[in-house]
Structure 1
Amino acid sequence: MDWIASLQGLVGGVLIGLSAVWLMGALGRIAGISGIIGNLITQRPKGDSAWRIAFLFGLVSGPLLVMAMGGGLGNVADAPGAVIGAPAGGVPLMLIAGLLVGLGTGLGSGCTSGHGVCGLARLSPRSMAATGVFLLTAVATVYVMRHMIGGGV
C-alpha cells in the first residue's frame, strides 16, 4: 500500500471538506463547482461574482502552488514515473465526454461536489439520489467501455 498517496488523498479530502464548510458558514453557499461556474457565466444573481472568482482562483491555484513547491501533480497516468498520460480515448472522445458531463450537471441540478460532498453532508435526500445516479452511471459507463466496446479504458 502506498501510504504517501493515501495521506495525500486524506489531506486533499480534508481540505475539500474545510472549503465546503467555510463557504457554507461564511456565505451560506454550497460549494458545487458546476453551479459556481454556471452562475458566474450567466451572472445570476447580479453582483454575486467576486466570491465565485475567488473560489475558482483558489481551486486552480492550489495545485499550481504545490507544483511550484516541487510537489508535482502526482502519478495520474498509467505508467510509473509519468505525470499525465495521453487521453485514453483521444481528444474528440474527451470533448464529447466533457459536453455530456456538462449536460448531466444541468439535468441533475449539480455535480459531485455539490451533491456528493455538500448534499450528503447535509443528509439531503435529493443529493443522496443524485449521487447514487452518478455512481451507477459511472459503473455502467466503465462496463460498456471495457466489456462491450472494448476500448481498454
Structure 2
Amino acid sequence: TETLNKLKKGQRELSQELGRTPTVTELAEYVELPEEEVKDLLCRARQPVSLETKVGDGDDTELLDLLASEGSQPEELVDGECLRMDMRDLLDQLPDLQGRVLKMRYGIDCEEPMSLSSIARELEMSRDRARSLERRAHEELRRLSKGMVSYLAA
C-alpha cells in the first residue's frame, strides 16, 4: 500500500505539473519505479464504479443514463427510413410488373419475402417469366441507382 500511495501521490502531482493525465512512462520515471510495476499497480488499484453513481452538476443523472444503448440511435432510424423511401422511389420507376416482382421477392410493402414460385402463382405466370422479370428489374435498378452509390457511401 505504501508503493500504491506513492504512485497515487505522484500521479496527482504530475497531473498538476503537466496539466493533463501523465502517461505510464512519465509516471514510472517520476516515482522511480519500473514501468511494468506501475502498470500492474494501476490495474490492481482500479475500483469498480456503480452504474448508479450520480454524475454531473445535479443529482439527477446516473452513469447508466450516459451509456449508449444497444438499440438504434435516432439518426440511424432516420437514415434507414430515408433509404427505404429512396428504394421505394427507385422501385416505383420500374415498369409495373418488374416493380411488383421485386417488391414481392424482397418483402417490400408486404409481410415477408416470397419465392419465385409463390410470385409466379400470385401473378398467374410461369416461374421462368417471374425469374426473367426479376433479372430485368435488377438490371434496370443498377442503371437507375448509379446516383445512389455516393449516397449509400456517405
Per the TM superposition, whether the score is higher than 0.5 is no
Q: Which structure has the higher relative contact order (CA within 8 Å, separation 6+)?
A: 1
TM-score normalised to the size of structure 2?
0.26
Flag the structure with larger Rg: 2
TM-score normalised to the size of structure 1?
0.26
